[in-house]
Each structure stands twice: as C-alpha cells, then as structure tokens.
Amino acid sequence: MFGGGSIQLARVAGIRIGIDPSWFFILFLIIWSLSGYYSDRFPDGSTAFVLATISALLFFGSVLLHELGHAFEARRSGIGIIGIDLWMFGGVAKMERDSQSAGEEFRVAVAGPLVTLAIAAICWVVASLLGGVDASSDALRLDAVPQDELVAVIGYLGFINLLLLVFNLIPGFPLDGGRIARAAAWRITGSRNRATRFAGLLGRGFGFAMIAGGAAMFLLWGNLIGGIWLAIIGLFLNQAARSAIVQTQLTDHLEGISVADIMDSEPVAVPADLPLDRAHDEYFLRYRWPWFPVVDADGRLVGIVGEESVTSLPEAVRPGRTVATVMAGDSGDGVSSLRVGAEEPLEALLGREALVRLGALLAVDDDGRLRGMVTADAVRRALAPATGR
C-alpha cells in the first residue's frame, strides 16, 4: 500500500526491515521537536539533543515492534510477509495476501495494538517505579540526574505509545481499528466486500475529519506544522480507504469465478531430477521463459527454477547436477508465495505480490500436484469487464 524503494536495515526472523527515504526526514523532525521538549527540563543543550535522539530511535523501535506483532500473527495464519517498511507515517507490514476470514482479519489487526499497549504499560510501570525511588531521594543531588533523564525518556516512550495506540484504534480502514471494524462487519454480514466498503467509508469519514481538524488547528490555534501534519495524515487515510472501496467494486464482478476457470491447465513444468544441461536446452532455450515450475515424479509442485540459477553454473558441471539442486524450494522466498489452490475463488489472486513480481501463480490441487498456471495477463483479462478496459 505505502512505501516502495526502501533501504534494507535488517532482517528479523527472516523478515526484511526496510526504511523509506522519507523516514530520515521525519526522524530529523522528531529529534528537532523533541530537543525543544527536553530543553525545558534539561537546559544543557547537548543533553536535550542526546535524549531527543534516543527517544526518537526508541519511538521507531516501538513502531517496528508494533508491525512485527502484525507480521508474526499473519505468519501464524499462513500469510507470507514480504517485509516491514518504516516510512513517514510510521510502519507498514506488507503481506502476500488479504485475510481469508473475519477471524483471521481480527487477529492480525489486533496483534499490533496489543504490542503497543504492552510497551506503554511496561513504560508506565518502570517510570513509576523509578519515579517513586526518585521522589524519596530527590534533593538536588547531581547523581540523581541520570535517573531523571531515564524517567523522562521512559515517560515520553510510554506517552508516545499510548498516542500510537489511540491513533491506530481509530475505526477507519485501513488503520488497525478500521480493520477490526471490518472484521466485525465481515462476521455479521458474511461478506468480505460489504465489510470492506463499510470500514472504508469509516476510513474516508475519519480522513475528512482529520483534514478539517488540521485546518482548525491552524485557523483557531495558529499551529501550522501540527495542522498540516494532521491534514496530510487525513488525506492519506482518505485515499487509502477510497482505493480499498474501489477494489471491492472490482471483486464484486469476480464472484463465482475460480482460479481453475482462467488458468492454463497444461502448464510446462521441469522434472526435478532432470540434469541442468537438458533443462537449459529443452526448456529455457526452447520456451525463452525466465522461470519454470519444478515437479517431482508424481507431478507435485516442489519448486521453481530460474534461468540464472542454471546459466550461472559452468557448462561442464551442468550434466552432473539436477534441477532439484538449484531450484527455489518451499523454504524462504521460494515457491510458497506462488502456490494457489485451483479451486480457490479468483478473488484470492488479487493483491498477490508474486503475481506482479513473477508474472504468474501456480495452481495446485489438494495433494499439491501442479494443475495449472495463472498468468497476470489471464487475471487482467478476467478483470477487464469489471474495470471497463
């Protein structure tokens, strides 16, 4: 939804953590405004700056933990995680597919706010413990200062996480609260599309309210930066909600169509035990496709093999090695992101990141046997009547 073109910061439990260039801008803004906030209590300029920097980084750490909450819960439900991106307005955990049930939607949506609540609670407990100790020995002693600073940072962290919690629980899609509202509407109506429209309309409403609130902040209280900030967030919320609603109009047209209806039911697949020289000549040279599905002797989909993983090996060693030794299997970023049930509704294909990245998905039956290939073109053709193109 947001982000793109991010710089990889780290990998946590196999999940790529990326930072969008806009993040550096907001980091700078936060440090700058926090320096002002801390300098009231710590007049020494460099102390205020150091505390502001630590606080800003801890704030982004909290946002990251929040997104990891979503990501781990999604993964538990079998939803692949493309990565987490930190950007101007916080974080976003990118997932390979939409939720398949109201319960799944609720669990994934609520996992992030629960993490944030836990951080806020821990900060509150620690700050009040330290604060309590501090009060008894508070007698302008120099060695009491570091503790003061610690309490100030923890107090800020608790406060900002509480704010984060309240903001995320605003019931407008695609905020977490909006996803919870969507899950509830989904459970009640039994329709994903109606639920998305309902939560999306709430999202648009809250988006407009934030824009109006931003204008009021400027006009009534002269707060220009805060006002612009709130209005921009409202604008993004409104836009994101709007595109979610537009997508439901698309998926309405797809009801009753399954993956099997539009797939190529005679896909070309490479046997896993084929030597690489033959795979190169009989598949890559012949069809000129960048990758192929790989099947075992029973026709079960076991991986995909890209041209590069064959051509990067010297020709002399290719006859002695099989496709199975170089293919991307089920682990990591391999074939799992491409697998789709042949009997699943066509709607399940929408928003599948691998369809865009690799141009096709692989349809399997209940036994994991490869039944077909669905290309991005075929999906586009199926959507054409709905999009009017």
Least distance (Å) between residue 112 CB and Zn ion:
3
Q: Which of 149, 178, 183, 156 is nearest to 55 (CA)?
A: 156
Give me the residue label for tokens 């639920």.
Answer: 195
DSSP percent split of the chain into helix, strand, coil, nearest 5: 60, 15, 25
Q: Is the dihedral of CA 359, 322, 280, 365 positive or negative?
A: negative
Stretch that binds Zn ion, among 32-40, 106-114, 131-139, 245-253 (CB under 5 A): 106-114
Stretch that binds Zn ion, among 172-180, 207-215, 306-314, 317-325 (CB under 5 A): 172-180
Of 73 and 347, nearer to Zn ion (C-beta) is 73
Distance, CA of 337 to CA of 57 (rounded, Å):
33
Q: What is the CA radius of gyration of the chain?
A: 26
Strands ordered across the beta sheet of 370-375:
339-341, 360-364, 370-375
Distance, CA of 90 to CA of 342 (rounded, Å):
37
Distance, CA of 256 to CA of 258 (rounded, Å):
6
Structural element, H or E, at residue 207: helix 192-221
Distance, CA of 135 to CA of 164 (rounded, Å):
29
Of 306 and 351, nearer to Zn ion (C-beta) is 351
Stretch that binds Zn ion, among 44-52, 111-119, 149-157, 238-246 (CB under 5 A): 111-119
Structure tokens at 100: 């398949």
If binding means CB under 5 A, how many residues of this protein chain bind Zn ion? 2
Least distance (Å) between residue 92 CB and Zn ion:
8
Stretch that binds Zn ion, among 8-16, 110-118, 153-161, 185-193 (CB under 5 A): 110-118
Structure tokens at 113: 């706010």
- Per-position x/- string for 55-94, each x denoting binding to Zn ion as judged by CB under 5 A, each - no binding: ----------------------------------------
Structure tokens at 361: 């998905």
- Whether the CB-CB separation of 201 and 245 falls below 8 Å is answered with yes
Stretch that binds Zn ion, among 23-31, 137-145, 174-182, 206-214 (CB under 5 A): 174-182
What φ, ψ does residue 41 adopt, rounded to 5°?
Answer: -95, -30
DSSP state, residue 75: H
Of 118 and 260, nearer to Zn ion (C-beta) is 118
Least distance (Å) between residue 347 CB and Zn ion:
24
Stretch that binds Zn ion, among 48-56, 170-178, 354-362, 373-381 (CB under 5 A): 170-178
Of 182 and 318, nearer to Zn ion (C-beta) is 182
Q: Which of 316, 291, 311 is nearest to 301 (CA)?
A: 291
Least distance (Å) between residue 185 CB and Zn ion:
18
Tally of CA atoms within 13 A in the half-sphere of 339 that contains its CB: 25
Of 176, 199, 328, 354, the one binding Zn ion (CB under 5 A) is: 176
Of 175 and 335, nearer to Zn ion (C-beta) is 175
Stretch that binds Zn ion, among 131-139, 175-183, 341-349, 372-380 (CB under 5 A): 175-183
Residue facing Zn ion at closest CB distance:
112
Of 42 and 89, nearer to Zn ion (C-beta) is 89
Of 112 and 214, nearer to Zn ion (C-beta) is 112
Structure tokens at 377: 């073109």
Distance, CA of 363 to CA of 301 (rounded, Å):
9
Of 116 and 322, nearer to Zn ion (C-beta) is 116
Which residues in the 299-358 window bind Zn ion by CB under 5 A? none
Least distance (Å) between residue 276 CB and Zn ion:
45
Of 18, 83, 112, 234, the one binding Zn ion (CB under 5 A) is: 112
- Going through 35-113 in order, the beta strands assigned E by DSSP cover 81-87, 90-95
Decide if residue 105 touches Zn ion (CB under 5 A).
Answer: no
- Which residues would be at the binding site for Zn ion (CB under 5 A)? 112, 176
